[in-house]
């Protein structure tokens, strides 16, 4: 039996799981108090000591951490282990200012690999599989995380990284890749290229593990149909190691959070108040096993819902919904909240590919809102009147979904720059 495989943890009864979390949390708070002066100071300012935290029920007493703390503490301020015990860093781009730098001990890497291995197993991976990893390798966590997980499962691992699509397709066909791991936008691009090159009969893919950015159910079905696979979601962030914090099982109704390593809370993003299970709010994670970057109550800014409803797969770990947007990248256009995922849903429902870009600007103190959408290839030869009518149809559908009028521009196929990593969906010129 491979070392990672711990069904007894993934299917643990709730009270046993809670006891494990309590024990690990108490230990972790002491570890942070002793080793992370930045967080200790925050605890002291709030008048909290390690003795006040006896278990998960006391979690609310601890201060939050957010991206600003990470920037302020850059690069070493939140490190929980001596540099000589750290074996790796990963990093993520900040929206502004300094990058986030996360540290890992070998133990941290082992546990992270376990989490990713669980995600692969949930998608049906075994040691007979050929795991094609087209997430970026390097500072980004996607490639390294799935690579480690794939090794633990014993798959033949292809560490492709992203880009060089022709080489991706060559290896995919020649080496018989069965599991594809990449961003959903790159999966859609690969599917498009496979279709164009008439390679569908030569690929052996059976499952895909796609994450790192928002993608809708419609996009899932689109990718599944084009590649003839089952597409699974995977979630994570650099601050909590990377991918594998949560992953989908065969039920595909939310992602199981690896609760033996992460305690999840949902809070009101405005007040910080902890909300009951089933509420929509901001996801907060406390890492209870990480040594080198042990973040407590880290505010992810991802908006979602948690559910402990019994899952048919047998796993007892709580499930998070697909992130429904972010509390910080939600667009407010003419006073209306707009999530890019809503626009994507409309486009796919109307039969367009998910190649689009939202451009927001402010002219004469009024917001402009434009959505550039690639037309389907068969539309390219349509008359201008027909294209104008298709644009009008999209304007109406977007208005119905968003409650706000957008200008829609249909552009020729392949004019919107394709992404090999995360797609750039929004250009908000108002911030410049």
- Taking alpha carbons only, the member of 227, 220, 232 closest to residue 203 is 227
Stretch that binds ligand DLL, among 51-59, 223-231, 264-272, 320-328 (CB under 6 A): 320-328
Q: Does 238 bind ligand DLL (CB under 6 A)?
A: yes
Q: Does 142 bind ligand DLL (CB under 6 A)?
A: yes
Structure tokens belonging to residue 239: 């601050």
Specify the residue, 243 or 294, whose C-beta has the smaller distance to ligand DLL: 243
- Taking alpha carbons only, the member of 63, 6, 2 closest to residue 29 is 63
Q: Which residues of 117-146 are buried (b: 16+ CB within 10 A; e: fewer)?
A: bbbbbbbebeeebbbbbbbbbebbbbbbbb
- Taking alpha carbons only, the member of 327, 351, 332 closest to residue 403 is 332
Structure tokens belonging to residue 70: 């990470």
Count of C-beta atoms within a 10 Å radius of residue 261: 23
**Residue of 33, 39, 103, 135 that binds ligand DLL (CB under 6 A):** 135
**Residue of 21, 105, 141, 355 that binds ligand DLL (CB under 6 A):** 141
3-state DSSP assignment of residue 70: helix
3-state DSSP assignment of residue 168: helix
Q: Does 331 bind ligand DLL (CB under 6 A)?
A: no
Identify any residues that bridge with 408 across adjacent strands, giving them in sequence order. 371
Specify the residue, 53 or 237, whose C-beta has the smaller distance to ligand DLL: 237
Stretch that binds ligand DLL, among 17-25, 188-196, 322-330, 404-412 (CB under 6 A): 322-330
d(CA 256, CA 16): 17
| CB closest to ligand DLL, residue no | 211
Q: Does 345 bind ligand DLL (CB under 6 A)?
A: no
**Residue of 92, 193, 321, 368 that binds ligand DLL (CB under 6 A):** 92
- Taking alpha carbons only, the member of 211, 213, 16, 214 closest to residue 115 is 211
Structure tokens belonging to residue 330: 């939600």
Stretch that binds ligand DLL, among 10-18, 185-193, 318-326, 396-404 (CB under 6 A): 318-326
Subset of residues 208 to 237 that bind ligand DLL, contact rule: CB under 6 A: 211-214, 233-237
Provide the mask over 45-84, with x wherever binding to ligand DLL is found by CB under 6 A and - wherever it is not: ----------------------------------------
Q: Does 323 bind ligand DLL (CB under 6 A)?
A: yes
Specify the residue, 213 or 391, whose C-beta has the smaller distance to ligand DLL: 213
Q: Does 242 bind ligand DLL (CB under 6 A)?
A: yes
- Taking alpha carbons only, the member of 104, 50, 97, 44 closest to residue 69 is 97
Q: Does 247 bind ligand DLL (CB under 6 A)?
A: no
Stretch that binds ligand DLL, among 191-199, 205-213, 285-293, 407-415 (CB under 6 A): 205-213
Q: Which helix (H) or strand (E) holds 373?
A: strand 366-374
Q: Which residues of 212-226 are buried (b: 16+ CB within 10 A; e: fewer)?
A: bbbbbebbbebbbeb
Q: Does 25 bind ligand DLL (CB under 6 A)?
A: no
Q: What is the DSSP letter of 64?
A: P
Subset of residues 98 to 117 that bind ligand DLL, contact rule: CB under 6 A: none
Nearest-approach distance from CB 261 to ligand DLL, in angstroms? 15
Q: Does 88 bind ligand DLL (CB under 6 A)?
A: no
Specify the residue, 204 or 326, whose C-beta has the smaller distance to ligand DLL: 326
Q: What is the DSSP letter of 204?
A: -
Rg (CA), the chain: 22
Q: Does 289 bind ligand DLL (CB under 6 A)?
A: no
Nearest-approach distance from CB 33 to ligand DLL, in angstroms? 26
Stretch that binds ligand DLL, among 33-41, 52-60, 134-142, 410-418 (CB under 6 A): 134-142
d(CA 371, CA 385): 19
Which positions lie near ligand DLL, rule CB under 6 A? 92, 135, 141-142, 211-214, 233-238, 242-243, 300, 302, 322-323, 326
């Amino acid at each position: 039996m491979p070392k990672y495989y711990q069904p007894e943890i993934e299917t643990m009864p709730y009270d046993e799981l809670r006891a494990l979390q309590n024990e690990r949390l108490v230990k972790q708070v002491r570890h942070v108090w002793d080793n992370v002066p930045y967080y200790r100071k925050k605890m002291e300012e709030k008048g909290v000591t390690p003795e006040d935290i006896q278990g998960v029920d006391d979690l609310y007493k601890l201060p939050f951490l957010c991206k600003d703390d990470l920037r302020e503490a850059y690069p070493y301020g939140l490190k929980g282990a001596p540099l000589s015990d750290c074996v790796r860093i990963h990093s993520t781009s900040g929206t502004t200012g300094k990058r986030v730098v996360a540290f890992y001990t070998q133990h941290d890497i082992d546990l992270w690999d376990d989490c990713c291995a669980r995600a692969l197993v949930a998608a049906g991976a075994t040691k007979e599989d050929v795991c094609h990893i087209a997430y970026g390798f390097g500072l980004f966590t996607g490639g390294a995380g799935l690579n480690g997980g794939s090794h633990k499962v014993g798959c033949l691992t292809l560490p492709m990284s992203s880009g060089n699509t022709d080489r991706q397709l060559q290896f995919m066909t020649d080496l018989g890749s069965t599991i594809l791991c990449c961003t959903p936008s790159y999966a859609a691009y690969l599917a498009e290229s496979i279709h164009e090159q008439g390679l569908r009969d030569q690929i052996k893919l059976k499952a895909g593990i796609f994450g790192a950015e928002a993608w809708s159910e419609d996009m899932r079905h689109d990718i599944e149909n084009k590649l003839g696979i089952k597409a699974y979601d995977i979630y994570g962030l650099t601050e909590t190691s990377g991918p594998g914090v949560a992953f989908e099982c065969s039920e595909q109704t939310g992602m199981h959070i690896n609760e033996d390593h992460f305690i999840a809370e949902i809070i009101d993003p405005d007040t910080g108040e902890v909300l009951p299970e089933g509420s929509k709010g901001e996801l907060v994670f406390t890492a209870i096993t990480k040594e080198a970057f042990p973040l407590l109550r880290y505010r992810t800014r991802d908006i979602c819902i948690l559910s402990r409803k019994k899952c048919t797969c047998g796993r007892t770990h709580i499930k998070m919904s697909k992130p429904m947007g972010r509390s910080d990248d939600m667009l407010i256009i003419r006073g209306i909240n707009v999530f890019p995922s809503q626009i994507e849903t409309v486009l796919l429902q109307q039969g367009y590919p998910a190649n689009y870009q939202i451009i927001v600007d402010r002219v004469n103190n009024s917001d402009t809102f434009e959505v550039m959408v690639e037309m389907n290839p068969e539309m390219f030869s349509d008359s201008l009147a027909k294209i104008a009518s298709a644009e009008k149809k999209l304007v109406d559908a977007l208005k119905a979904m968003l409650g706000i009028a957008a200008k829609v521009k249909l552009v020729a196929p392949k004019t919107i720059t394709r992404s090999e990593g995360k797609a750039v969906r929004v250009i908000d010129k108002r911030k410049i």
